[in-house]
Amino acid sequence: MRSYQDALAYSAKWLEIIHQDSESIDESTAKWISQETKHNFVNHFNAGWVNYRKSMTEAGDYGAVEWRGKGARFFDPFGNEYLDFLGGYGALDLGWSHPEVVEAVRAQALKSGIPSQELMDPLRGVLAKLMTDITPGDIDHAFFVASGTEAVEGALKIARLHTGKHSFISTVKAFHGKTSGSLSVMGKKAFRAPLQPYGAQIFFVPFGDADALERQLEICETVGIDIAGFVAEPIQGEAGAIVPPDGYWPRVREICDKFGILMICDEVQTGLGRTGALWGVDHWNVKPDIMMAAKSLGGGVMPVGCFMGSGEIWKAFEEPNPFMHTTTTGGNPMACAAAIATIQVVLRDKLPQRAAELGDYFIGQLNQLTEEFPGIYEKITGKGLLIGQHFIDNEVGYKVAAGLFRRKVLVAGTLVNAKAIRFEPPLVITQAEIDEVLNRLRDTLKSVSAGL
């Protein structure tokens, strides 16, 4: 019989570090943490991540390891301070370890963590009502999961059950997650192609082109292909913060109504204030049939996502089998406590308005840089604090991202557009911190420009 002594000793060592005051780690421990983290990623997680990430290739002798953070700043074990202008790809809208969210989770964890599933857990119902209170249109039901791609899976599933149809239309360069159902509506070959076929017909149209959507629906109707819904992000995030023309979403709503299909809006990255409105669709005053949210809903502390719809749509989950869709850990009390605290902070502190104001300022300053460095930039895109810097090619984009990292600013590229580097800082960022990053960006651009 195995004794597991190595596992016991190793877990005990890490628990001791976890419980240690995060600011009191000595240099030898910091070096060990860095080396051990790299070793574990290479040998036990995914070696490709280490080779790909700037935190390893540009960090120097020891790969950068995130350790603690507050607001829009985080620190590695050595105490080096970074400005976070990536924001966990939208999960850290409230910044690092927001105290109110942390306290809500801590307090709930002392009561209950994972529910029994046989009794009703109050916070799941509370959060469902809150989502009803803050979402547009007739949405009055929500189901909670642990991630954005699970939210997309649930949305596709209930759309099929409600309509009795199985096919969807998505958009080119869309990003909706990486589980199989979500991948079926992914608009990027590199992620989608290796896992085909997906078991349903999925059609793709250019994002922002309502005429193309209408033509595709006309073709499907002519040849007898039933479409359950149109799936899209209000603003494409992973494509590089691409904002559609102003009349696009109102026209999409009209087209969906005309053909009797569901309008399904993926707000996983755009929701809860990121784009300068509480929801991305609010910029165009349209009302989706189904919406998805995740990332920032957990306040950067707990993983939580949801898909939402009207009571009429929700009948597909209630009759004849109310257990058609379930999850053991999704929407657990700790996750719901985090989401409740997050909604409170977002609304009370007017973070959507803050994102709109700071985003206008930031984008304005970045547009000035495109004029100052025309041989580097193509354009700046985005709304609020979801911003894309589009460079002349991949190499230049990488040099800018790597140069910023060396200057202790965290940014990243997008998964479906390698030329685009995003700025997606926490919504609690200050203008002074934006100015600080702009100064470091200008210094980086001067260095990159000199090497071209």
Picking from 348, 375, 399, the residue at the C-terminal end of a domain is 348
243-259 pLDDT per residue, tens: 999 999 999 999 999 99
Dihedral (Cα; 434, 75, 420, 269), 10-degree rounding: -90
Task: Please report whether residue 109 resides in a domain.
Answer: yes
169-217 pLDDT per residue, tens: 999 999 998 877 766 766 767 666 654 565 678 999 999 999 999 999 9
Q: Are residues 186 and 279 in the same domain?
A: yes
The pair of three-digit structure tokens given for residue 213, joined into one six-digit string: 């959507």
List the one residue out of 93, 414, 420, 422 whose CA is nearest residue 274: 93
Question: Side by side, which strands form the sheet with 386-391?
Answer: 377-383, 386-391, 420-423, 412-413
Is the Cα dihedral 216, 182, 290, 354 positive or negative? negative
Task: Please report whether residue 11 resides in a domain.
Answer: no
Distance CA 186, CA 204 (A): 9
Q: Are residues 228 and 153 in the same domain?
A: yes
292-303 pLDDT per residue, tens: 999 999 999 999
What pLDDT score was predicted for residue 116?
A: 85
Average pLDDT value for residue range 102-127: 93
What pLDDT score was predicted for residue 183?
A: 63
Distance CA 291, CA 288 (A): 6
List the one residue out of 88, 108, 132, 151 whose CA is nearest residue 296: 88
Picking from 348, 381, 410, the residue at the C-terminal end of a domain is 348
Q: Are residues 312 and 236 in the same domain?
A: yes
Q: Are residues 83 and 126 in the same domain?
A: no
Is pLDDT of 147 > 80?
A: yes
Q: What is the CATH number of the domain that holds 61?
A: 3.90.1150.10
Residue 386 backbone dihedrals phi, psi, to 5 degrees: -110, 100
391-446 pLDDT per residue, tens: 999 899 989 999 999 999 999 887 655 689 999 999 999 999 999 999 999 999 99
What pLDDT score was predicted for residue 199?
A: 67
Distance CA 208, CA 235 (A): 9
Distance CA 316, CA 294 (A): 22
What pLDDT score was predicted for residue 418?
A: 63
Q: Are residues 253 and 302 in the same domain?
A: yes
Is pLDDT of 278 > 70?
A: yes
What pLDDT score was predicted for residue 65?
A: 87
Task: Please report whether residue 32 resides in a domain.
Answer: no
If one compares 88 and 185, the residue with the highest pLDDT of the two is 88
Task: Please report whether residue 184 resides in a domain.
Answer: yes
316-346 pLDDT per residue, tens: 999 888 888 888 899 999 999 999 999 999 9
Give the percent of the chain with pLDDT over 90.
76
Confidence of residue 231 (pLDDT cuts 50, 70, 90): very high
Give the E-state strand segments of 67-188 in sequence order: 68-70, 73-75, 81-84, 141-145, 167-171
Q: Are residues 152 and 74 in the same domain?
A: no
Q: Are residues 311 and 423 in the same domain?
A: no
What pLDDT score was predicted for residue 413?
A: 84
Task: Please report whether residue 323 resides in a domain.
Answer: yes
Task: Please report whether residue 161 resides in a domain.
Answer: yes
Is the Cα dihedral 216, 221, 224, 230 positive or negative? positive
What pLDDT score was predicted for residue 345?
A: 98
Mean residue pLDDT of the chain comes to: 92
Q: Are residues 183 and 276 in the same domain?
A: yes
Average pLDDT value for residue range 208-233: 97
Picking from 299, 328, 348, the residue at the C-terminal end of a domain is 348
Range of the domain at 444: 39-97+351-450
Q: Are residues 443 and 302 in the same domain?
A: no
What pLDDT score was predicted for residue 195?
A: 46
Q: What is the CATH number of the domain that holds 192?
A: 3.40.640.10
Residue 301 backbone dihedrals phi, psi, to 5 degrees: -120, -40
Q: Are residues 258 and 379 in the same domain?
A: no
What pLDDT score was predicted for residue 139?
A: 97
Q: Are residues 72 and 117 in the same domain?
A: no
Confidence of residue 279 (pLDDT cuts 50, 70, 90): very high
Which pTM value belongs to this model? 0.93
Per the structure, the count of domains in the chain is: 2
Task: Please report whether residue 318 resides in a domain.
Answer: yes
Q: Helix or strand or coil: residue 316? A: helix
Task: Please report whether residue 25 resides in a domain.
Answer: no
Confidence of residue 62 (pLDDT cuts 50, 70, 90): low
What pLDDT score was predicted for residue 38?
A: 87
Q: Helix or strand or coil: residue 278? A: coil
The pair of three-digit structure tokens given for residue 72, joined into one six-digit string: 């829009």
Q: Are residues 331 and 365 in the same domain?
A: no
